[in-house]
Every structure is written in C-alpha cells, then in structure tokens.
Chains A and B, each alone.
Chain A
Amino acid sequence: MPKTPQGCVEPAAGPLVPSSAPPTNTTTPSFVPQEDTMQARVGKEAPDFEASAFVPGEGFKNVKLSDYKGQWIVLCFYPGDFTFV
C-alpha cells in the first residue's frame, strides 16, 4: 500500500445528479432529479456517484461508478461491516 499521507476527512462528491438549469418561462413543471428520491430504475441509466473507498492492494481512493462504464458492474449495498449475514 502506498505510503501517501491520508487525511481523516476525504470529501467525495456522492450522487452526481445531472446539473440542469432551472426551467424558466415554462408553464409545465419538468421533472428534475432530486437527490432525496430513488432514481434507480431497471432499463434506465444507472445514477452515477463518487464515493471514498478502500481498494484492496491500492489503498484509499475515491471511486466513481462511471469509472467502470463499459464493463458489467455488480453494485452491492449491505447494512454494515462486521454484521452477521
């Protein structure tokens, strides 16, 4: 593992919601993705994000989901390290 100094706090961008300009001069409200609602849908593009990570053999780094675009990805959420299942 590289011996680069590591800070206690390493900001990561989190969800990378497309930044669209707020709609102006329109009477019909258009759908704007919200950070606080579920966006993942089968058959739709995966919501991109950046997260801090422990990468075995490499150490600590920030990882973007879209870094892996072009290959098959299995993204697994789980409740916590040191849990039982």
Chain B
Amino acid sequence: MAAVAAIYDELKALGVEVLSMSTDSRFVHKIWQEQELSKMVEGGVPFPMLSDAGGKIGTIYGVYDENAGVDIRGRFIIDPNFVIRAMEVLTPEVGRNPKELLRQIKAFQHVMETGEVTPSGWEPGGSTLQPGPDLVGRVWEVWKP
C-alpha cells in the first residue's frame, strides 16, 4: 500500500480516490499506519483504509480466500459512472506495479474523453486507433508491436 501512497499525488491529479481494504480491523490499520507506513511514506498513507472483517466484500469482488481467511491482492479501477473498468488479481507473493495502474487510468480517461481506443502498450501521447468499418483489416497499417 505504501507503493500506491507514493504515487498518490499523481493519482489525485488524475481525479482518483484510493480505497484500500483488508480483513484487518480499523484499529490494526491505525497502528500499521503509525508504526510502519508513516516510516515508509512521509505522513503515512493518505487514503481511507477499509476493513473487510469476515471477507463478505472480498467475496463479491472475487478476491476472498476462505481457507486463509484473507483478501488476496486485487485492484479494481472504477470510473465516475460507477462502472468497473479494470481488475487485476494476483496471488500474494507478487506486488503490484503502480506505473501500470497510472497507465491504465490515463488510457481509460483518454478513451472516455475521445471515443478512440488505445492499442497494446499505449502510453499518453502515443498513437490511438479510430474504431470503425474503415479500420477493419487495416490495423497493420497503423500499428505494429
């Protein structure tokens, strides 16, 4: 979570609010913030830390491991219309890549604003595609990996 906190200013600039969630209680979240996170990131994590005691919320998001009794690593991007745009679920040993999170948010914001679509590996400023009958069979002309 400290890695997400480290890019929080960039997320805020994109109009994003972060919510973190584990099966720990709100009391444990507070002490984790004070004892450890505040020493990893100046001021600690700035976003609400939610408790999913019992795993009911993780269950409807498909991330609750009922054998371990915890929510595994899962990240969901939800747009202003309350629609889930992306989900990424990992087994616990591998951490997330915050840069990929930023890339996906920028891509989804771009397509919502322009109606264009972004090809594989798109970065802001990169070429986009105009979906439509004229593009069928001709993607090779405008995009190569």
Q: Which residues of A contact B (CB under 8 A)?
A: 10, 12, 14-15, 17, 35-47, 49, 51-56, 60, 63, 65-66, 68-83, 85
Interface residue from A49, A60, A74, A80 paired with B57 (Cβ < 8 Å)? A49
| Chain B contact surface mostly | mixed
Q: A17-B60, A73-B76, A77-B21 are in contact. List 19 more A-B contacts (CB 8 A).
A: A14-B54, A15-B60, A41-B84, A42-B86, A43-B85, A51-B52, A53-B50, A54-B51, A56-B45, A56-B48, A63-B48, A65-B78, A72-B16, A72-B79, A73-B18, A74-B4, A77-B72, A79-B73, A81-B32
Count of A-B residue pairs with CB < 8 Å: 190
Chain B positions within 8 Å of A39 at CB level: 60-61
Interface residues of B in 80-130 (CB under 8 A from A): 80, 82-87, 92-96, 101, 105, 109
Q: Which residues of B contact A71 (CB under 8 A)?
A: 15-17, 80
B1 at the interface (CB under 8 A from A): yes
Would you call A63 and B50 a contact (CB within 8 A)?
A: yes
Residue of B nearest to A81 (CB): B32
A76 / chain B contacts, CB cutoff of 8 Å: 1, 4, 18-21, 74-76, 96
Residues of chain B with a CB closer than 8 A to A37's CB: 59-60
Which of chain A's residues have a CB closer than 8 A to the CB of B85? Answer: 42-43
Nearest residue, chain B, Cβ from A48: B82
Q: Closest CB-CB distance, A80 to chain B, in whole Å?
A: 5
Nearest A-chain residue to B58, judged by Cβ: A77
Q: A77-B74, A78-B20 are in contact. Are A56 and B47 (CB under 8 A)?
A: yes
Partner pick for B75 among A47, A66, A75, A81, CB 8 A cutoff? A75
Q: Report if A63-B32 is in contact (Cβ < 8 Å); known contacts: A46-B84, A83-B92.
A: no
In the assembled complex, the Cα of A80 lies from the Cα of B77 at a distance in Å of 20
